[in-house]
Amino acid sequence: MKKIFIIFGSIVVSCSSYAGNSLAEPRVSPEAIKTQVVIIGTIHSAHYKNPKYSPEILKEIILSLRPDAILNELPLSLVDPNGRPIEKIRSKDSSCPEVWAADEAAIELGVKQIPFDRPDRQENFKKTKHFERQKRANKLARKWGQQLVQEDPNSVDVKIGIVWQYAAKAEGELFMKSSPEIINSEAHDSIIRIKHSLWYDIVPTILGKYSEYRTLIDDYHFARDQWQERNRIMANNIIKTAKEYPGKRLVIVTGATHRYILCDLLKDEKAIDLREYWEVIKPNLIKSEKHKQRKQKTDNQINQVKSERAER
């Protein structure tokens, strides 16, 4: 059998030598060429409050990556026919600074913007009464937590709730004080994993012991299923676009909370080469707007001194 393979290989090589370079060097199909996908986690309105990760810094990161297209976490209802965010959300003063950053970068680079969130996101929120149900569940959960503390503040159930609070606080602290490299890291992703694992899996299990709060189990499972479905749709849209841009680079601009699950859904996709932005560009090349202003001020002072000396 081994000889058969050797002979067959010899025939292929022999035939190729007579057929010219086109056969000697077989072409690679577009499907076999991977698309580099860079997921940038954003912090929404916290960009305005975190000087280490301002909207201007996010814009500079995107520009430095020089993507061939930018994918925004937006549904179809919030983009125009060309994929550009609608006017009311692309303003720098809107509640979506990441949309402004992506839009400005896309214009400067001359690249297309593509929405990748579930197309019917807003309609689905209304149809499922998503926010109303979330508000009701949060109110009931607070009542449950207060009852647990009163009954036995040292119980394991209370301690699990405290761990969730620590994770939520850590996430908030990172959003307000951390650099983009930290937000886009396994450290941040792990905190979100802990938070979601507690909220979606462990807490509903505990609730089974408290008959008066069992409706919360359905609420948590609803939130989990909605979250997973939405991220699956987002991942599928990224994969679809990646196949349309073989050998190119796509930048995915999305809330940092989505990073861990999108990475899990995309990491084994054959068409995608998944990268962190700081693996592609050097973070020290990205300077904050404040640093730029200080440098400009210093340069102006130096030029003024030189000018004064020249006049003397």
- Fill in the DSSP letter of residue 29: P
- Report the chain's mean pLDDT, rounded to a whole number: 85
pLDDT of residue 308 exceeding 70:
no
Enumerate domains of the chain plus CATH numbers. Answer: 30-123+232-291 (3.40.50), 126-226 (no CATH)
CA distance readout (Å), 283 to 42, 64, 67, 280, 291: 16, 10, 16, 9, 14
Backbone angles phi, psi at 308, to 5 degrees: -65, -40
- Per-residue pLDDT tens over the stretch 47-89: 999 999 999 999 999 999 999 999 999 999 999 999 999 999 9
Beta strands in 52-157 (DSSP E): 69-72, 112-115
- Per-residue pLDDT tens over the stretch 203-260: 999 998 898 888 899 999 999 999 999 999 999 999 999 999 999 999 999 999 999 9
Average confidence (pLDDT) over 132-137 = 92
> How much is the pTM?
0.80
